[in-house]
Amino acid sequence: MRQIGQAAQLYEETCGVHPLGTRQLVQTKLIPPSICFSPLDKTPKGMANQLVQEAARGSRDYLGRSEPYRSSFISLDTLRYTLDRQGKEFDGHPAAGWLVSLTESTPDYSGEVTGGHEGRYRRLLMDGSVVSRVHQDPYDVGGGGAKLFYGAYIAWFMDVDGEWIRRRATR
């Protein structure tokens, strides 16, 4: 993940914008596709591509988010997030990231990537550093029993804390 982070910083310096996924880095030859796959990932096409397939449920538009290579790392681009859409939540937040690895966690009930997870995961932050976090209950992300499963995906990319709740309220 650190190699991907270094390539992302170079991409941002060159293109003036931070990449939202690995596809931009592979297309510009800043990284080879092989770096996008973790040996800990036991899925045939990679966890990111499996998540897209599960989430698409037949939608051709969403299936276009699959990478043409084995991809273990789920990005903002994988989930169709954009910084202009999520900007208030991400802008300047010290724990905001753009890429996550779920390879060290286990699906807790369904066996699907889109289901809940237990254990730890890693997040690549915008500055290129990597942090390890514990999965939160997807039905209580944001506190107070919010029951927003959508929020669980956001929580992969930033810490759900008082700052996140404040930013979300002002969107």
pLDDT digits (tens, 9 = 90+) for 92-121: 677 888 899 988 887 765 666 666 677 889
3-class SS letters over 122-142: EEEECCCCEEEEECCCCCCCC
Find out whether 5 and 130 touch, Cβ atoms under 8 Å.
yes
Strand, helix or coil for residue 71:
coil
Please, which residues have CB within 8 angstroms of residue 109's CB and are 6 or more apart in sequence?
A: 115, 116
Residue scoring higher pLDDT (34 or 114)? 34
Does the pLDDT of residue 30 top 70, yes or no? yes
- pLDDT category, 12, cuts 50, 70, 90? very high
- pLDDT category, 146, cuts 50, 70, 90? very low
Q: What tokens were used for 70?
A: 């084995």
Q: Report the share of the chain in percent with pLDDT over 70.
A: 67
Query: pTM, whole model, 2 decimals?
Result: 0.81
Residue ranges per domain, the chain?
2-169
Q: Pick from 22-31, 47-56, 71-80, 107-116 the range whose average pLDDT is largest.
A: 22-31
Q: Tell me the CA distances in angstroms from 24 to 21, 28, 42, 102, 160, one per residue in order.
A: 6, 6, 24, 21, 28
Does the pLDDT of residue 149 top 60, yes or no? no
For residue 95, what pLDDT is reported? Answer: 80
For residue 166, what pLDDT is reported? Answer: 64
Q: What tokens were used for 64?
A: 């276009």
